[in-house]
Chains A and B, each alone.
Chain A
Amino acid sequence: MRSKRSELLVGCFIVLGVVALVYLAVQVSGLAFSSKKDTYQVVARFDDIAGLTNRAKVSIAGVAVGNVESITFDKKLYMALVTMNIDSDVNNIPTDSSIAVLTSGLLGEKYLGISIGAEDEMLKNGSEIFDTQSALVLETLISQFLFKGGDSEK
């Protein structure tokens, strides 16, 4: 009663649906199906992170080497506590390296950039980067500029 052809086409239809879902998951949302890469966690405290989000990239020399795991508020120090995962094959970051909140392009995403220090000791799982630079907030910059301009005129 039911033809082989319609069965085949219904099968193709469902396969097409699954392919579309996988395509959306992998290519569009960047979901990685491969087993999670080995990472180690590093924390850093910032005065102001201004728009940094979870999953933002952590880079050295512009190359992504990890991502932001969580951002919480440190109640004692009134600072932002950022926990990040760094790929474990990048295991030679000196402990005195500095980390800054950067912006890609004028209106782009916020990300973290690590500048390499000179210490012999390397960062391990759970260690902290102490030398941090906060995000540049446009309003603060403008007000600084305005107040300085006012001073020099006097």
Chain B
Amino acid sequence: MKSIELLGASLLDWLEAVGRAGIFLVQSIFRLPVRFKESVNLLVKQLYSVGVLSLVIIIVSGAFIGMVLSLQGYSILAKFGSEEAVGQLLALSLLRELSPVVTALLFAGRAGSSLTAEIGLMKATEQLSSFEMMGVDPLRRVIAPRFIAGVICLPILSLIFSASGILGGHLVSVEWLGVYDGAFWSSMQQSVYFDTDIMNGLIKALCFSVVVTWIAVYQGYECVPTSEGIGKATTRTVVLGSLAILALDFILTAAMFGDF
């Protein structure tokens, strides 16, 4: 009896949390700062700290993933005498799957955790309540620019990841392993379609960006305002964010590329 009660309570708690997070999301989207100039200022600042500062990790990991894919793909394709198909393998796996997913995972670790920690610390040092005292809505001033910046940045980062991965793969397979340059590009161009492959990858990245940034700002806003609470909230952002990305990726892939 007790255990069933417990189950019910935990389900209700969970539903309540989801509902609160949903209301929080809607409120923070529709409450941008009133004055246009001010909101642009806040947004640019967040775009800098979320996007520009994540650029190095995205470019470097993109290049390395492209290089590894070419090496692995080449060693298998060479057995069938079709090394040129390495271009096709590289572009399709990067555009459809790896660049949105890996970018989102890196983003959850790099930008999501810092968003949570920043907002959590604001809450712990009572900056959020002082905003309220001054008659400034903290959702409007603190949360909305961060959320929108995150949603804008991730798709751009994912595009940069794909481009850097393909350049890295080109370096390894053409310059090092000696795949013929023209065949590398033409096998890629024959199999990659702009509207299905590149656009679907972008849509995936956009979905991930909404989910990851939402989790990050919500965890920061709702954390227990102690140093331990901030630590826990940051960990939860990365864990929940990564799980949500991988689960959502399966659903999106099934809807986009699964023929049924």
Hey, which bits of chain A sit against chain B, CB under 8 A?
1-2, 6-7, 9-10, 12-14, 16-17, 19-21, 23-25, 27-31, 55-56, 105-109
Contact = CB atoms under 8 A, between A and B. Distances in A.
Q: Give the one of A23, A27, A109 with max B CB within 10 A.
A: A27
Contacts of B48: 6, 9-10
Contact of A13 (B80, B156, B162, B190): B156
Contacts of B189: 27-30
B141 to A, nearest CB: 14
Where chain A touches its partner, the secondary structure class is helix
Contacts of A2: 41, 44-45
* Interface of B, helix, strand, loop or mixed by DSSP: helix
Interface stretch (B17-25, B107-115, B129-137, B191-199): B191-199
A7 B46 CA distance: 11
Nearest to B192: A29
Given A20-B163, A24-B95, A107-B82, A10 B52 contact: yes
B98 interface: no
A1 B40 CA distance: 13
A20 B167 CA distance: 11
A29 B193 contact: yes
A30 B87 CA distance: 13
B185 A9 contact: no
User: Which 5 A-B pairs have CB atoms at the shortest separation, nearest pair first?
Assistant: A30-B189, A17-B156, A20-B163, A20-B159, A6-B48
A16 B162 CA distance: 12
Contacts of A29: 189, 192-194, 197-198
B166 interface: yes
Contacts of B47: 10, 13
Contact of B159 (A17, A27, A107): A17
Contacts of A1: 41
Nearest to A111: B190
A107 B47 CA distance: 47
Contacts of A20: 156, 159-160, 162-163
A14 B152 CA distance: 10
A52 to B, nearest CB: 12
Nearest to B87: A28
Contact of A28 (B55, B82, B85, B95): B95
B51 to A, nearest CB: 5
